[in-house]
A and B are shown apart, each in its own frame.
Chain A
Amino acid sequence: EDKVVQSPLSLVVHEGDTVTLNCSYEVTNFRSLLWYKQEKKAPTFLFMLTSSGIEKKSGRLSSILDKKELFSILNITATQTGDSAIYLCAVDHSNTGKLIFGQGTTLQVKP
Chain B
Amino acid sequence: IAGITQAPTSQILAAGRRMTLRCTQDMRHNAMYWYRQDLGLGLRLIHYSNTAGTTGKGEVPDGYSVSRANTDDFPLTLASAVPSQTSVYFCASSTDRGDTQYFGPGTRLTVL
State in angstroms the CA–CA spacing of A44 and B43 once bound together.
13
The verdict on A101 contacting B102 (CB below 8 Å), with A42-B90, A43-B90, A95-B97 known, is no
Interface residues of A (CB under 8 A from B): 4, 31-32, 34, 36, 41-45, 48, 88, 90, 92, 95-104
B74 within 8 A of A: no
**Once A and B bind, how many residue pairs between them come within 8 Å at the CB atom?**
59
A residues near B105, Cβ cutoff 8 Å: 41-42
State in angstroms the CA–CA spacing of A92 and B33 once bound together.
13
Q: Contact at B100–A99, with CB atoms within 8 Å?
A: no
Q: Contact at A97–B48, with CB atoms within 8 Å?
A: yes
Q: Contact at A41–B98, with CB atoms within 8 Å?
A: no
Interface string of B42-68 (1 = CB under 8 A from A): 111100101000000011000000000
A residues near B96, Cβ cutoff 8 Å: 97
Nearest CB of chain A from residue B47's CB, rounded to whole Å = 10
Q: Contact at B99–A97, with CB atoms within 8 Å?
A: yes
Nearest CB of chain B from residue A47's CB, rounded to whole Å = 10
The verdict on A88 contacting B98 (CB below 8 Å), with A43-B90, A43-B103 known, is no
State in angstroms the CA–CA spacing of A88 and B37 once bound together.
12
B49 and chain A: residue at smallest CB distance: A97
The verdict on A96 contacting B42 (CB below 8 Å), with A41-B106, A43-B103 known, is no
State in angstroms the CA–CA spacing of A36 and B94 once bound together.
14
B90 and chain A: residue at smallest CB distance: A42
Q: Contact at B103–A44, with CB atoms within 8 Å?
A: yes
Q: Contact at A99–B103, with CB atoms within 8 Å?
A: no
B residues near A4, Cβ cutoff 8 Å: 42
The verdict on A97 contacting B94 (CB below 8 Å), with A34-B100, A41-B106, A42-B106 known, is yes
The verdict on A103 contacting B41 (CB below 8 Å), with A42-B90, A97-B31 known, is yes
Nearest CB of chain A from residue B50's CB, rounded to whole Å = 7
User: Quick one: which of A41, A95, A97, A102 contacts B101, CB cutoff 8 A?
Assistant: A97
User: Quick one: which of B41, B45, B106 contacts A99, CB cutoff 8 A?
Assistant: B45
User: Quick one: which of B42, B59, B90, B98 contacts A97, CB cutoff 8 A?
Assistant: B98
